[in-house]
Amino acid sequence: MAANNDQDAAKKAAEEAAAKKSAEDAKKRREFTAKHQILLAGELVPPGDSVTLTREQFETLRGLGAIEGDWK
């Protein structure tokens, strides 16, 4: 029984740490290169230019194939 409690506590701690990292990632911004023209914050970004994106913007634009790079 104690082993299960320890496992549950460890699992909960890992989930909380993952949630905290995800929340921190959402606030961070990283720089990427536009592969295609992007409309970002009301301005057009031409291909080849750098764009600074949040994690959410990155996921959306990466899914569309509009940017180069990985979130690291």
Contact 45, 38 (CB under 8 A): yes
- Tokens of residue 8, six digits: 């549950």
Look at residues 2, 7, 14, 55 and name the one whose alpha carbon lies nearest to residue 31: 55
Contact 70, 55 (CB under 8 A): no
Global pTM value = 0.63
For 17, which DSSP code? Answer: H
pLDDT in tens, 3-49: 677 788 778 887 887 677 766 666 799 999 999 999 999 999 999 99
Q: Which domain holds residue 51?
A: 2-68
pLDDT at 56: 92
Query: CA-CA distance, 2 to 5, in Å (whole number)?
Result: 5
pLDDT at 53: 95
pLDDT at 59: 95
